Structure 1
């Protein structure tokens, strides 16, 4: 009996050592791919530990994804050596919903939503700019007005009016996307840190917004259901070549329809 216990312990030790080596190798590959350097050995050890915890979360989530229990897949990306708190502080922005009313000229609230196409993708019509590659750490304290820079009168683009979609109305948002073009929105992006592919459907997503993006279309996925096609600004090596598909028609998840605007040129 003691011999059996000893063998079990030895196997566990070998497996633990192998897992540690694998995680260290994955961390080294992560550093190389994303050009990560740290100020000293202590900081590198700290980042390794954070990476390992994030990798455990990712692997646990993806087991559920493979089992059909999740609508999207997580993955390692350039934010995988950050804690969720660091991600929120360094990558996302504190936005004030009250600012969304500044500079709004009209409210878009169509009386009918009939005859809307089942799917829209403005990339097919050449109406979409390439995904930007930018520093993932934006200036702090941007208002919603400034965050919607593509449609703000204060910028050099000459526009005649700023139109806001009826707040919280996903049907009105779909109508605007189908009939007006890409729409700027602000969302709760706290779950973007781990996103890799699929339809982000997380009922825990809040109505507090901290990041602004652009909706380039919408559609329906066989696994994830109705989605918004959302263009981010973190480069093509994040998400689905710079895009994320977010849950649509699920009670305004992540506040995606709360602060939607577009320019009248």
Structure 2
């Protein structure tokens, strides 16, 4: 009986580490599971022994092996849990172009790989280049991008502009590769309805009471920036985040992160990582509802089969009544809507300056006219910076190491900068 209990304890600990791996998506927990399992097999002894049992020399050695395996597993798990914070600090240094000064091209690329390796390995869709030919190719692209970033920053300084560029995790991609992997937004054939409150006299009355600045982050209704990785799922993030913020505001509660993976898996007749439109997320929320992220699986950066059994077990399914549109190109109506709730916006993001945006105000001059809209994000505020430049504050889906901790400031004193008010939509009540 005692021997059986010992094996049950071992089995329980083994399944505990496997559970952590499934829950977190970190392979280190699976390694820890294997390590612990191996030590258990080697020891061939239960962890617990009866007090009356005579403890042999071999039993003591076996127990030491088991405890050592357990401590190793726990230490690896603990290190994995802390890794995101450590990696974040490394990335914050590595995004600065000056970080690579004085290095040879080969050294600079190796530093980049080291700094962003864990971030890039976190997605199943991306593997660091391993062949010498591929590494050489990526090193060349990285150093070309680095030199251009340095040049563009110098020009911004000479012009007295605030815009600065930095290194991102996709700094060894060409612009074409970057666009193909990230910018896959599909615009709708038909524009959504514009509600009466954004037309005519009623809009003019609302315009008379606009504050100089506003930021929904101060209200506790915006989740932390997430990362779509190399999956064209900007539409899923933008739509889901608009729904989760609307739900929090409408119910006067702190925001709950909703499952982007559920939207990616279960939204019907969409192309998943190949792109879609934020409006379909709101349509899906209207009919099926979106589960909290804690109920459905975490984001995998790929479209998977829809897990109905997970959805059915969720205690809540967040629904909206539908969605409406801001009048095309109407920045004033967009500002009025933003004071009610965060807005899903779509704009052009294909330029070199957006790919490597670090800080400052992103200018309309860095987009085409008319804008080639290809990316969806979440508009959360507006204001003026220390230089007096008016900006829209937008939450992106490229991780907290991109831009200003995941956010970008886009020029506001130009009408419809980069198409920001061309396809702006927001959820409506049931």
Equivalent residue number for residue 359 of structure 2 = 197
Name the structure 2 match of 1:153. 286
Do the aligned partners of residues 242 and 149 (structure 1) sit closer, same or farther apart at CA in structure 2, a change above 3 Å counting? farther
CA contact (8 A) 1:136 1:234 kept: no
CA distance in 2, matches of 1:222, 1:165: 29
Match status 1:32 vs 2:114: yes
Unaligned ranges ≥5, structure 2: 1-100, 121-127, 233-272, 290-317
Greater relative contact order structure (CA < 8 Å, 6+ sep): 1
Aligned to 1:6: none
C-alpha change, 1:100 and 1:144, in structure 2 (3 Å) is farther
Paired residue secondary structure (1:129): coil
Q: Cα offset for 1:105?
A: 6.7
Cα distance in structure 1, aligned partners of 2:284 and 2:363: 28
Question: Mean Cα displacement is larger for which, 79-88 or 134-143?
Answer: 134-143
- 8 Å contact 1:152–1:162 — kept in the other structure? no
Alpha-carbon deviation of 1:25? Answer: 2.2
Root-mean-square deviation over aligned CA pairs: 2.4
Shift of 1:183: 0.8
Kindly indicate whether residue 216 of structure 2 is the aligned counterpart of residue 83 of structure 1. no
- Per-residue CA distance 1:205-247 (angstroms, 9 max, x = gap): 1322111100110001233711000001111111100101111
Matches within 5 A, 1:1-265: 21-35=103-117, 37-101=128-192, 104=193, 106=195, 108-109=198-199, 110-112=203-205, 113-138=207-232, 139-146=273-280, 153=286, 156=289, 157-178=318-339, 180-191=340-351, 192-206=354-368, 207-223=371-387, 225-265=389-429
* Distance (whole Å) between structure 1 residues aligned to residue 284 and residue 418 of structure 2: 21
- Whether the 8 Å CA contact 2:162–2:359 is kept in 1: the answer is no
Counterpart Cα distance in 2 of 1:151 and 1:242 = 26
CA distance in structure 2 between the aligned counterparts of 1:130 and 1:150, rounded to whole angstroms: 24
Q: CA 1:184–1:150 in structure 2 vs 1: closer, same or farther (change >3 Å)?
A: farther
76 and 24 in structure 1: CA distance in 2 versus 1, 3 angstrom threshold: same
Compute the displacement of 1:99 (Å).
4.8
Matches of 1:24 and 1:223 in 2, distance apart?
38
| 1: CA distance, partners of 2:208 / 2:222 | 25
From the CA coordinates, give the structure whose radius of gyration is larger: 2
User: Would the alpha carbon gap of residues 151 and 215 (structure 1) be closer, same or farther in structure 2, given more than 3 Å must change?
Assistant: farther
Offset at 1:203? 1.5
**Structure 2 vs 1, CA of residues 48 and 99 (structure 1 numbering), >3 Å: closer, same or farther?**
farther
**Structure 1 residue 149, shift from structure 2 partner:** 5.2
Which structure shows the higher helix fraction? 2
Distance in 2, Cα, partners of 1:155 & 1:55: 46
CA distance in 1, matches of 2:287, 2:147: 45
Higher strand share: 1
Structure 2 length normalisation: TM-score?
Answer: 0.53
